[in-house]
Amino acid sequence: MDWLEKEIASLEASRAEGVAEAPPPILNQPRPVDPSGDDILEEFRQHPDSIGQRTKMGCLVYFLIFLGFLALVLGGIHLFESAYRTRH
């Protein structure tokens, strides 16, 4: 604890004397800005045919998911109704 108290006392003394501390070093230097974004666009550019093909595949997948959900709902209604009819 004595060491810590000495450090605090020296910091307070240096501030009282008006000695400015050196600013902390900058850890993250800013990256140079590329004036043209063509490199970034080229990196993510896709062929139009593949975009259309993936869109059609996505629509088909969502349609099949919808049909499965619809079958579950209709099957549940059918089972509930058939169980209700057997009781009454």
Does residue 24 lie in a domain region?
no
Does residue 84 lie in a domain region?
yes
Does residue 60 lie in a domain region?
yes
State the CB neighbour count (10 A cutoff) for residue 47.
8
User: Please, which residues have CB within 8 angstroms of residue 14's CB and are 6 or more apart in sequence?
Assistant: 21
Q: What is the pLDDT of residues 1-29, one digit of tens each?
A: 888 888 888 878 777 666 566 776 777 77
| Contact in structure between 21 and 14 (CB atoms under 8 Å) | yes
How far apart, in whole angstroms, are the C-alpha atoms of residue 47 and residue 78?
47
Q: What is the pLDDT of residues 51-66, one digit of tens each?
A: 889 999 999 999 999 9
Please state the pTM of the whole predicted model: 0.47
14 vs 67 pLDDT, higher one: 67
Q: How many residues does the chain have?
A: 88
The CA angle 32-34-40, to the nearest 5 degrees, is 125
Does residue 78 lie in a domain region?
yes
Does residue 36 lie in a domain region?
no
Does residue 15 lie in a domain region?
no
Does residue 30 lie in a domain region?
no
